[in-house]
Structure 1
Amino acid sequence: MAREATVLIVPGVRDHVPAHWQTLLASRLPRVRTVAPMGRGNLDCLARVEAIEEAAVRIDGPLILVAHSGGAIAVTHWARLTRRPVRGALLATPADFDQPLPEGYPSMEALDEGGWLPVPRDALPFHSIVAASRNDPLARYERVDALARSWGSKLVDLGEVGHLNPASGFGEWPQATSFISELDATVSPCWLKQRLRA
């Protein structure tokens, strides 16, 4: 029988927000950890990758990552380096860091200096679901579709949900638990392939 997975919450570059669906989800799940806050002004991608790894190392057994926005991009950077047993990842509305973001968000120059660019296009070594919005101000649907294909992810069209954050009316996002259950049920030797890469 497969071991129960622990969910690891990976927030975006704006970090933890009390009313965010990730924060609310973390308060309801029985086996959950959250990546330590990095600070809103911290755009050091390597530091975020190290924070994910530090949290993952403390988890005994397989994990499921639940990432949002820039956190989804951080997971793709982390996936190149880790050897942790990963059952799957939910990558919700990944931001398109390869295109200029709206005013008030980091510039491409700042993202480049922080080590985010180029965004990895390698196939992820674990199952993943990319949940995409049709009207996300931080990424056009077609661009997210292309990312999902390059990562080998299942793409789910959420419709018009903005950036899936409190500013877009989320709050609770009950669909996240369904995606987590889907990933948890997909037990395969993918994590073994990941270990053998290095």
Structure 2
Amino acid sequence: MAFKSTILIVPGLGNSGPQHWQSIWQQQYNFTRVEQQDWETPVRADWVETLNNAVSQHNPQDVILVGHSLACTTIAYWAQKFNIKIKGALLVAPSDTEADTYPSGTTGFSPVPLIKLPFKSIVVTSTDDYYVNFERAMLFADAWGSELVNIGEAGHINVSSGFGHWQEGIELLKRLDQ
């Protein structure tokens, strides 16, 4: 299956290992990964600039961002700063950088921007994500103007939650690719 759009994989804190659905999708569909300089102690300004550089290498109207965890917040900050209309964004398991459960070591990712994104987006969340409670995920989706997809008890929608290829996610991505 080929995608019409340019798909940019945007991993979160720690990057996405080889068994993570983002890495599997990247390899299987030849998507492009946005490579951050510092995966462990990220600085918002750096991540936002790196994302902007990656998007600017393509026709923005053809770009779909696929963010996981901290990347969702990065994408919101990027949209707030640059206001570029891309084709869309699949925002999976947005983490709450303001929560007590959020890991230390990041700089500048709080508060989470509660702005309407200038592009179509889908937020995918679960009811038992350690890094965001369901109410906050709903708040983010509502503020961002995103469609909210609740996939039930699915943890942080990553390898430790049992997500490898994740076909349901591909189906959501296809909806943005139309």
By the TM > 0.5 criterion, same fold? Answer: yes
Matched, 1:157 2:156: no
Matches within 5 A, 1:97-136: 97-101=97-101, 105-106=103-104, 110-111=105-106, 114-136=107-129
- Secondary structure of the 2:175 match is helix
User: Are the aligned partners of 2:36 and 2:47 in contact in 1 as well (CA < 8 Å)?
Assistant: no
2:5, 2:165 → 1: CA distance? 22
1:53, 1:81 → 2: CA distance? 10
TM-score (norm. length: structure 1): 0.83
2:71, 2:146 → 1: CA distance? 16
1:5, 1:20 → 2: CA distance? 22
TM-score (norm. length: structure 2): 0.91
Q: Match of 2:20? A: 20
Question: Relative to 1, partners in 2 of residues 1:101 and 1:38: Cα closer, same or farther, differing over 3 Å?
Answer: farther
Deviations 1:92-126 (A, max 9, x none): 01001111125xx22xxx44xx1111110010000
Matched, 1:39 2:38: yes
User: Are the aligned partners of 1:69 and 1:93 in contact in 2 as well (CA < 8 Å)?
Assistant: yes
Question: Relative to 1, partners in 2 of residues 1:85 and 1:4: Cα closer, same or farther, differing over 3 Å?
Answer: farther
Q: Match of 2:80? A: 80
1:85, 1:141 → 2: CA distance? 28
User: Are the aligned partners of 2:84 and 2:118 in contact in 1 as well (CA < 8 Å)?
Assistant: no
Q: Match of 2:137? A: 144
Unaligned runs of 5+ in 2: none
Percent identical pairs in the alignment equals 34
- Secondary structure of the 1:86 match is coil
User: Are the aligned partners of 1:8 and 1:65 in contact in 2 as well (CA < 8 Å)?
Assistant: yes
2:167, 2:123 → 1: CA distance? 16
Tell me which structure has the larger Cα radius of gyration: 1
Deviant stretches of 4+, over 6 Å: none
User: Are the aligned partners of 1:8 and 1:34 in contact in 2 as well (CA < 8 Å)?
Assistant: yes
Q: Match of 1:52? A: 51
Query: How well do the aligned residues superpose, as a CA RMSD in angstroms?
Result: 1.7
Q: Match of 1:189? A: none
Query: Number of residues paired by the alignment?
Result: 175
Shift of 1:60: 3.7
2:11, 2:40 → 1: CA distance? 14
Shift of 1:179: 1.1
Deviations 1:65-92 (A, max 9, x none): 0000001110000111235441110000
